[in-house]
Amino acid sequence: MPESWNDTFITVIPKSETPETIGQFRPISCCNFIYKFITKIMTNRLQPWLLVLVNELQSSFTSGRQIQDNIIIVHEVLNHFKKNRAGSRKDMMMKLDMRKAYDLVEWDFLLELLSAYSFNNTWCRWVKACVSTVKFRLLFNGEPSTVFTPSRGI
């Protein structure tokens, strides 16, 4: 894939009518149309495999699963804890904040994972091209910044 297909401009749009802090803006990535077209084709081809590859407890970003299901599960677990308080068993529940998880994915790990799940070399090369050739520029008042490149993340 030519590297120019993966040039991305990042700008912000306000979340409210009169934003006053940076937290009141939402970053938007403006990708090349050809890149978006290629990744859409790849996503569509991967879709049938997601229910097999993604753990059943992962509820977000998978067709047919809803994050609201997790609320019900947590409620049931807490009820179970309350009912079994008198016993000697020690129960524990943890909440992990995975908010930045996609930003932290190491590319080598991703490619090793794809190989471990027997994805062919062509697929792995396309994934590598999509994640590792991206070049970002920030748009300030319509003017692009200098290029910066990530070293990980998807």
Give me the tens of pLDDT residue by residue for the chain, a chain 154 residues long. Answer: 787 888 999 998 999 889 889 889 988 989 999 999 999 999 999 888 887 887 777 776 667 777 777 788 888 888 888 887 766 567 777 777 666 777 778 889 999 999 998 999 999 999 999 888 889 999 988 899 999 888 877 7
- Count Cβ neighbours within 10 Å for each residue of 35-54 and write b for 16 or more, e otherwise: beebeeeeeeeeeeeeeeee
* Domain residue limits, the chain: 3-52+100-144
pLDDT reported for residue 4: 84
pLDDT reported for residue 98: 63
pLDDT reported for residue 70: 78
Alpha-carbon distance of 68 to 99, in angstroms, equals: 17
Write a three-state SS string for 133-151. CCEEEEEECCEECCCECCC
pLDDT reported for residue 120: 92
Q: For residues 86 and 130, is the Cβ–Cβ distance under 8 A?
A: no
